[in-house]
Structure 1
Amino acid sequence: MKIKYLGLLVFIVILALVAVPVSNYFVKLKIEKALQNLPKHVDVCTKGILVDVVSGTLEFQDVLISVSDESSLEKVLKLNLKSILIEDIAYLEFVFKNKVRIEELAVDAPKIKYYKAGKQKKPTKAYEIPESPEVTIKNVQITNGAAQVLSLQNDSLLFDIKMFKLNVKDVSHKADKKNRIPVTFHDFDIVADSIQLNVGDWDRLFIAKAQLKQHTSVLKAVQLKTKYSKKELSKHIKTERDHFNLGVDSIVINEVDFGFKQDTIFYFTTNKTELHHLDFEIYRDKLVGDDPTIKSLYSKTLRELNFDINVKELQVLNGKITYEERVHSSGVPGEIFFTDFNATMSNINNTYAEGDKTVVNITTNFMDEAPLKAYSDFDINNKNDRFIFKAELGSFHVEKLNQFLVPNLNVKFEGVLHKTYFTIDGTTNHSSIDLITDFDGLRIDVLRKHERKKNKFLSAIANIFVKKTTENGDNVFAEAKRHDIKRDKTKSVFNFLWLNVKEGLLHAKN
Structure 2
Amino acid sequence: MVKRIVIEHPDIVLYEKDKKYNVEDDVKKPFRNVVNTGSLEIRKGTFRMLDSKHNPILKTDNISLEVNNIKLDSAIVKQDIPFQYKDYNLRCGRVFYRASRFYSITADSLQATDSSVAVTDFKLVPQYGRKQFTKMLSEEKDLFNVEAKSITLPYVNWGFVNDTLFVHAPKAVLDKVAANIYRNKEPKDDPTRKKLYSEALRNLDFDLKIERLVMRNSYIEYEEQLNFSRPAASVSFSRFNADIKHIYSAVNKKQIPATVIRVNALFMKKSPMSVTWSFNVPDASDAFTIKGRLQGLQGKSLNELSMPLMNIATDSDIKDVRFTINGNRNNATGSFAINYDNMKVAVYKKDGKEKNRFMSAIGNLIVKNDSNEKLKRTDIKVDRLKDKSVFNFLWRCLQEGLKQTLLPKAVTAVLPEGGKKQKKKD
| Structure 2 length-normalised TM | 0.84
Contact 1:465-1:506 within 8 A present in 2 as well: no
**Unaligned runs of at least 5 residues, structure 2:** 407-426
Offset, 1:146: 1.6
Q: Which amino acid aligns with 1:505?
A: L
Instruction: For residue 508 of structure 1, give the secondary structure of its aligned residue in structure 2.
Output: helix
Contact 2:28-2:77 within 8 A present in 1 as well: yes
Aligned to 2:69: 170
Cα 1:327–1:363 shift into 2, 3 Å:
same
**Match for 1:494 among 391, 408, 417?**
391
**Match for 1:183 among 59, 83, 98?**
83
- In 2: Cα distance, 1:307 partner to 1:120 partner: 26
Instruction: For residue 488 of structure 1, give the secondary structure of its aligned residue in structure 2.
Output: coil
| Alignment partner of 1:300 is 2:205 | no
**Match for 1:427 among 328, 351, 360?**
328
- In 2: Cα distance, 1:398 partner to 1:103 partner: 71
Aligned to 2:158: 258
| Alignment partner of 1:369 is 2:273 | no
Aligned to 2:415: none
**Larger displacement relative to structure 2 (327-336 or 140-149):** 327-336
**Match for 2:340 among 432, 439, 445?**
439
Instruction: For residue 184 of structure 1, give the secondary structure of its aligned residue in structure 2.
Output: coil
Aligned to 1:10: none
Offset, 1:371: 0.3
Matches within 5 A, 1:223-242: 223-242=123-142
Aligned-residue Cα RMSD (Å) equals 3.1
Offset, 1:112: 2.3
Contact 1:480-1:505 within 8 A present in 2 as well: no
1:341-376 CA-partner distances (Å, limit 9, x unpaired): 111111111135456211111111111210001111
Offset, 1:259: 1.1
**Larger displacement relative to structure 2 (178-187 or 247-256):** 178-187
- In 1: Cα distance, 2:60 partner to 2:329 partner: 42
Offset, 1:192: 0.9
Q: Which amino acid aligns with 1:480?
A: T
Offset, 1:443: 4.9
Instruction: For residue 156 of structure 2, give the secondary structure of its aligned residue in structure 1.
Output: strand
**Match for 1:148 among 48, 58, 65?**
48
**Match for 2:380 among 482, 487, 495?**
482
Offset, 1:262: 1.0
- In 2: Cα distance, 1:228 partner to 1:332 partner: 19
- In 2: Cα distance, 1:224 partner to 1:280 partner: 9
Q: Which amino acid aligns with 2:376?
A: A
| Alignment partner of 1:317 is 2:236 | no
Q: Which amino acid aligns with 1:189?
A: N
| Structure 1 length-normalised TM | 0.71
Aligned to 1:390: 291
**Larger displacement relative to structure 2 (275-284 or 109-118):** 109-118
Cα 1:130–1:398 shift into 2, 3 Å:
farther
Contact 1:311-1:349 within 8 A present in 2 as well: yes
Q: Which amino acid aligns with 1:169?
A: N
Cα 1:178–1:387 shift into 2, 3 Å:
farther
Aligned to 1:337: 236
Matches within 5 A, 1:43-442: 101-116=1-16, 132-152=32-52, 154-173=53-72, 175=75, 179-263=79-163, 265-351=164-250, 352-354=253-255, 356-442=257-343
Q: Which has the higher contact order (CA 8 A, sep 6+)?
A: 2
Q: Which amino acid aligns with 1:247?
A: E
- In 2: Cα distance, 1:242 partner to 1:341 partner: 21
Cα 1:359–1:459 shift into 2, 3 Å:
farther
**Unaligned runs of at least 5 residues, structure 1:** 1-100
**Larger displacement relative to structure 2 (401-410 or 200-209):** 401-410
Instruction: For residue 394 of structure 1, give the secondary structure of its aligned residue in structure 2.
Output: strand
Offset, 1:242: 2.2
Q: Which amino acid aligns with 2:178?
A: D
Q: Which amino acid aligns with 2:223?
A: E
Offset, 1:107: 2.6
| Alignment partner of 1:506 is 2:407 | no
- In 2: Cα distance, 1:180 partner to 1:257 partner: 16
Aligned to 1:44: none
- In 1: Cα distance, 2:357 partner to 2:17 partner: 60
- In 2: Cα distance, 1:427 partner to 1:189 partner: 45
Offset, 1:116: 3.5
Q: Which amino acid aligns with 1:268?
A: V
- In 2: Cα distance, 1:399 partner to 1:469 partner: 16
Contact 1:113-1:149 within 8 A present in 2 as well: yes
Larger CA Rg, structure 1 vs 2: 1
Offset, 1:331: 4.2
Cα 1:165–1:253 shift into 2, 3 Å:
same
Aligned length in residues:
399
Contact 2:31-2:72 within 8 A present in 1 as well: no
- In 1: Cα distance, 2:95 partner to 2:12 partner: 14
1:278-333 CA-partner distances (Å, limit 9, x unpaired): 11122222233333332211111112223221111111110111222222333432
